[in-house]
């Protein structure tokens, strides 16, 4: 509720054309909008165009902002719609229910070969010695994450981007992507599992060399 009150106040200032407030809004939301656009539009330059168009659309639509969702989920929805429209126009086929599809739904979180037939671990995971702070600075890790994100189904990538890269809550993500709570959880589960598996591989290779 506090978010909404704050939103209502600064949307009013935005409507009055307050550039100082717009500067803050722009700096705060531009990075996530870019990441979100990249989910649907692979080319960085086209993603940037999509985000620029999003800002224009946001400004045009300010009078229509009713505060039923938070401002940040509202602009994220505008960005997602524009990115999908652009992707479709450029010939990338985006199923109508792209965010609801269950691509990779049958895939286990951990490959079956890691378990014995009893369901116990055959090849045990080990505790990583590296902290997240260290991992986030490693070039191999950044490249592997970037590549894996690029290979995830769009819905998984969108959820992981907002939840984990941006730190949004489940509720905010459901709202921005218009997916159900349980679907959000399934998509997050698959996306995180893939990323974990890739990081495990990177760290194992690092240990051997």
Partner 1 sequence: MMCQEMSELMTDDMEGSLGGARKASFDRHLAACAPCKAYRHQLETTVATLRRLPPEEASAEARARAFAALRTWKRDLM
Q: Which is nearer to partner 1, 2 or 27 (CB)?
A: 27
- Which residues lie near partner 1 (CB under 8 A)? 16-17, 19, 22, 26-27, 30-32, 34-35, 38, 48, 51-52, 55-56, 59-60, 62, 108-110, 112, 115, 118-121, 124-128, 130-133, 135-136, 141-142, 145, 160, 164-165, 167, 170, 185, 188-189, 192-193, 195-196, 199-200
| Contacting residues for 87 by C-beta, under 8 A, at least 6 apart | 40, 41, 94
Q: How far is the CB of 73 from partner 1 (least distance, A)?
A: 18
Give the residue from 9, 58, 64 showing the smallest Cα distance to 29. 58
Q: How far is the CB of 56 from partner 1 (least distance, A)?
A: 4
Contacts 24+ apart (CB under 8 A), 114-117: none
Decide if 176 contacts 70 (C-beta within 8 A): no
CA distance 28 to 71: 12
Alpha helix positions (H), 41-169 = 44-61, 71-89, 132-135, 139-151, 154-160
Q: How far is the CB of 35 from partner 1 (least distance, A)?
A: 6
Q: Is 7 helix (H, G, I), strand (E, B) or coil?
A: helix
Q: Which is nearer to partner 1, 32 or 76 (CB)?
A: 32
Q: Which is nearer to partner 1, 84 or 194 (CB)?
A: 194
Size (the chain), residues: 209
Q: Which is nearer to partner 1, 91 or 119 (CB)?
A: 119
Q: How far is the CB of 93 from partner 1 (least distance, A)?
A: 26
Q: How far is the CB of 37 from partner 1 (least distance, A)?
A: 10
Q: Which is nearer to partner 1, 100 or 166 (CB)?
A: 166
């Amino acid at each position: 509720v506090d978010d909404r009150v704050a939103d209502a106040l600064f949307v009013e200032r935005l409507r009055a054309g307050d550039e100082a407030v717009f500067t803050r809004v722009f700096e705060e939301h531009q990075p996530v909008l870019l990441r979100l656009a990249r989910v649907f539009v692979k080319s960085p330059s086209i993603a940037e165009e999509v985000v620029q168009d999003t800002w224009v659309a946001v400004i045009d639509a300010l009078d229509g902002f009713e505060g039923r969702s938070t401002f940040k989920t509202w602009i994220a929805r505008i960005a997602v719609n524009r990115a999908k429209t652009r992707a479709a126009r450029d010939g990338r086929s985006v199923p109508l229910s792209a965010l609801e599809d269950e691509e990779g739904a049958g895939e286990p979180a951990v490959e079956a070969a890691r378990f014995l037939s009893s369901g116990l671990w055959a090849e045990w995971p080990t505790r990583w010695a590296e902290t997240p702070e260290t991992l986030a600075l490693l070039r191999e890790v950044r490249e592997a994450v970037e590549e894996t994100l690029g290979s995830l189904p769009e819905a998984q990538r969108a959820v992981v981007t907002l939840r984990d890269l941006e730190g949004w809550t489940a509720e905010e993500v459901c709202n921005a992507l218009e997916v159900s709570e349980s679907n959000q959880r399934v998509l997050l589960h698959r996306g995180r599992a893939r990323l974990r598996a890739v990081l495990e591989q990177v760290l194992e290779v690092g240990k051997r060399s």
